[in-house]
Amino acid sequence: MKIVVIGGSGHIGTYLVPRLVRAGHEVVSITRSGGTGYRDSPEWEQVTHLAADREQQDADGSFGRTVLAQAPDVVIDLVCFILDSATALVEALRGEVAHLIHCGSIWRHGASRTLPITEDSDAAGAPFDEYGRQKAAIARMLEEETARGGLVTTSIHPGHIVGPGWHPTGPLGNRDPESWRILSGGGVLRVPGSGAETMHHVHADDVAQVFERALDRRDAAAGESFTAVAPTALSVRGYVEIASGWFGAEASIEPVTWEEFRATTDEHHALESWGHLHRSQVFSIEKARTLLGYAPAFEPDAAILESVRLLIERGELPVEAPLQA
């Protein structure tokens, strides 16, 4: 098939685009820069690259025409964050393409109530930030579009994506590299909350796998939403114990109130931490396993270690001891 991937050079596209090429598909990657992914791969040489400013084209109503001009059979949208943008694309593609696969987010769910959280349950509260509200609204719109006989759509909702090339969400629920210096030296991390809060990571290649399987199993994926996460999740306390052990250290945590944490943390990192730890989410992947055959290759700690190792090798992550893992 001919597949247009919108945002093909990002975290997911880095792995998804080469997967699609290896499967024999013709791929067009639409990005703002027209560039390739984070990792070198010979498959990128077989990809058609198109530079387009989606925000600008959404404003003048031309983005749908840009996508359709590539004559795709399937469109995979990895970088849509606003309901109006998603709706405009659906209206342009309706009756013209066989399948639209959209990238959502687990943050379409709010704070956890019961665990694990499944796609169609009320195990989590409503989203509490604009990003999550928009992702939830897009997922509902896509489901309704397919249910009433319109465009065939699927939405896939990744957890905290990790992989070589970018900083993982750390045990404090943010990307502050200082956490890794403390972990590697066996220090004490001041943690807002109890340390029992959870985060659900996923390797970018496992996310790409879900997209590829949704493409291959269109009938099973039609009108559905799927969560793309690792088989297990990490608690803050467990994360600290596992990650400090990679350096032969034994870091510990000091629970503090959110007010105390915010007083000693810059606003950006504190907001990141609140977003991850207040939600305290763990998800089920049973639906993706059953309907799509999803078989994640990475546990969260293995995915994080792979990312951390490369950052250290590149000198991009200051640590006090070498990795022993």
- pLDDT averaged over the chain? 96
Q: What is the pLDDT of residue 33?
A: 85
Residue 165 has pLDDT above 90, yes or no: no
Q: What digits encode the pLDDT tens for the residues 109-123? A: 999 999 999 998 899
Same domain flag for 6 and 117: yes
Q: Evaluate whether residue 292 is within a structural domain.
A: no
Same domain flag for 218 and 257: no
Q: Evaluate whether residue 126 is within a structural domain.
A: yes
Same domain flag for 49 and 125: yes
> Among the three residues 228, 245, 272, which one is the final residue of a domain in this structure?
228
Q: Evaluate whether residue 289 is within a structural domain.
A: no
Same domain flag for 188 and 110: no
Residue 130 burial by Cβ neighbours in a 10 Å radius (0-12, 13-18, 19+): exposed
Output the six-digit token pair for 121: 């349950």
Q: Evaluate whether residue 78 is within a structural domain.
A: yes
Strand order in the sheet with 99-103: 48-51, 26-31, 2-6, 74-77, 99-103, 153-158, 225-228
Task: Using pLDDT thresholds of 50, 70 and 90, give the confidence band for residue 34.
Answer: confident
CA–CA separation, 55 and 198 (whole Å): 34
Same domain flag for 209 and 274: no
Q: Evaluate whether residue 319 is within a structural domain.
A: no
Count of domains for the chain: 2
Same domain flag for 84 and 224: yes
Same domain flag for 175 and 142: no
Q: Evaluate whether residue 286 is within a structural domain.
A: no
Q: What is the pLDDT of residue 255?
A: 96
Assign 146 to helix, strand or coil. Answer: helix
Q: What digits encode the pLDDT tens for the residues 236-274? A: 999 999 999 999 999 999 999 999 999 999 999 999 999
Q: What is the pLDDT of residue 38?
A: 76
Query: Which range marks the domain in which residue 195 is found?
Result: 163-200+232-281+298-313
| Range 99-115 average pLDDT | 97
Same domain flag for 254 and 303: yes
CATH assignment at residue 139: 3.40.50.720
Same domain flag for 186 and 251: yes
Q: Evaluate whether residue 288 is within a structural domain.
A: no
Q: What digits encode the pLDDT tens for the residues 173-215? A: 999 999 999 999 999 999 999 999 999 999 999 999 999 999 9
CA–CA separation, 134 and 245 (whole Å): 39
